């Protein structure tokens, strides 16, 4: 029994990060993933929806950024999530430049505010962004070109962090891994989640089944799959945003994000049905569900390794490896300067992420939900 639990836990820890990507790589790419598609006779109209809650101090900069975008047929809508400061007033100053305000009179969360803007939008393509993200001038045109492929229902940008001095922060190993995995998923059944700070979708993907209680970055990918389309990543479309101003809040941000993801999956369990969603269901299982299970497999692996350490070299070696791994993490926690080294930084980040998953799961099972949206201060 113990040996079976040991090997189940080994499989659980390894699956999401290693076996699942390997299985994806062994499957063929979807037809059309690498094909070029003809340009339309005229570019589609685009509605850019920026969601804001009490952003009086930053909304002007965001509007100016959006007004400098070079796309020819662009409608800009600010979705105010029942802002109580001067956000709406600042938006009103730009009315003569065509900037529209879609205000949610009740604060029901980010997705509810986005829904008010969707109802007001006239574009064939809807682009969603937030106040903290800076969009390059040519990004909308690049993003729209992906929709020349009729099988594409949604397009995700790739995030880039900007440090306080204005320089782009170099990508860490984890970010590089995530971007690689997104590319692999994009070429198969499509992304299972978009970059919530900057993504686009066809109008008909958003018109129906817009769930205000689920994160729009997940729900849009799901709606694309419902319509027989895919959500793809656009590595040439970047969104730039600063690191969270208070680094201690990053852990809480992770918890909020995971609770929202758990909420989405609990509301749409049908997405795990392979008979309905095919390979997309497997990708949700591998990337989302099994990854959220990793911290519990870690606990099971450590406990069974202790109990089996005297019953064979493989179990003793597994225990020793884990003790060394967690010892490095503890050392990195006690002496933060050690995290500058890759052999400490990666294990430390891995454990931090899984601690956040475990905490979020417990909070979720206790009934905590994150419907109301609070933007991170950057």
DSSP secondary structure string for all residues of 224-236: HHHTT-EEEEEEE
Q: How far apart, in Å, are the Cα atoms of 324 and each of 14, 130, 137, 343?
A: 18, 41, 48, 12
Residue 256 has pLDDT above 60, yes or no: yes
pLDDT in tens, 237-251: 998 877 655 556 778
Tens digit of pLDDT for each residue in 177-236? Answer: 888 999 999 999 999 999 989 999 999 999 888 999 999 999 999 999 999 999 999 999
- Residue holding tokens 């999530």? 81
Mean pLDDT for the stretch of residues 316-345? 93
Cα distance between residue 284 and residue 320, in whole Å: 33
**pLDDT at position 4:** 92
Asked whether the CA dihedral 261, 169, 249, 196 is positive or negative, the reply is negative
Angle at 71 between CA 60 and CA 226, to 5 degrees: 95
Element holding 172 (H helix, E strand): none
Instruction: Give pLDDT tens digits for 49-104.
Output: 999 999 999 999 999 999 999 999 999 999 999 999 999 999 999 999 999 999 99
pTM to 2 decimal places: 0.90
Q: Which of 201, 115, 88, 120 is nearest to 153 (CA)?
A: 201
Quick check: 11 pLDDT over 70?
yes
> Both tokens of residue 61?
């900069």
Residue 377 has pLDDT above 60, yes or no: no
- pLDDT at position 250, please? 75
- Alpha-carbon dihedral sign for residues 256, 117, 131, 185: positive
């Amino acid at each position: 029994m113990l040996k079976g639990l040991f090997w189940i836990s080994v499989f659980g820890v390894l699956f999401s990060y290693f076996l699942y990507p390997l299985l994806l790589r062994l499957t063929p790419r979807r037809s059309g993933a690498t094909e070029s598609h003809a340009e339309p006779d005229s570019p589609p109209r685009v509605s850019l929806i920026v969601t804001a809650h009490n952003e009086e101090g930053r909304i002007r900069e965001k509007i100016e950024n959006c007004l400098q975008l070079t796309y020819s047929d662009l409608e800009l809508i600010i979705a105010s999530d029942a802002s109580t400061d001067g956000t709406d007033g600042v938006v009103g100053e730009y009315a003569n430049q065509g900037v529209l305000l879609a205000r949610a009179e009740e604060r029901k969360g980010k997705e509810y505010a986005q829904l008010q803007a969707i109802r007001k939008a006239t574009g064939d393509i809807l682009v969603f962004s937030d106040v903290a993200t800076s969009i390059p001038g040519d990004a909308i045109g690049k993003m729209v070109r992906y929709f020349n492929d009729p099988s594409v229902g949604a397009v995700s940008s790739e995030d880039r962090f900007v440090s306080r001095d204005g320089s782009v922060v170099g990508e860490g190993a984890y970010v590089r891994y995530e971007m690689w995995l997104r590319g692999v998923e994009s070429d198969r059944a499509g992304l299972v989640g978009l970059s919530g700070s900057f993504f686009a979708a066809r109008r008909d993907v958003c018109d129906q089944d817009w769930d205000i209680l689920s994160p729009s970055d997940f729900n849009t990918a799901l709606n694309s799959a419902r319509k027989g389309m895919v959500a793809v990543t656009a590595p040439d479309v970047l969104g730039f945003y600063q690191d969270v101003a208070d680094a201690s809040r990053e852990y809480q941000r992770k918890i909020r994000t995971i609770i929202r993801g758990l909420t989405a999956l609990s509301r749409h369990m049908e997405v795990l049905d392979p008979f309905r969603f095919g390979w997309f269901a497997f990708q949700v299982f591998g990337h989302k569900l099994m990854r959220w299970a990793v911290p519990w497999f870690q606990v099971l692996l450590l406990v069974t390794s202790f109990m089996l350490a005297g019953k064979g070299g493989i179990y003793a070696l597994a225990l020793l490896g884990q003790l060394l791994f967690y010892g490095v993490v503890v050392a990195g926690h006690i002496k933060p300067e050690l995290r500058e080294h890759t052999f400490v930084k990666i294990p430390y980040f891995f454990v931090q992420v899984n601690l956040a998953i475990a905490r979020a799961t417990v909070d979720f099972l206790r009934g905590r939900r994150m419907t109301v949206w609070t933007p991170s201060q950057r």
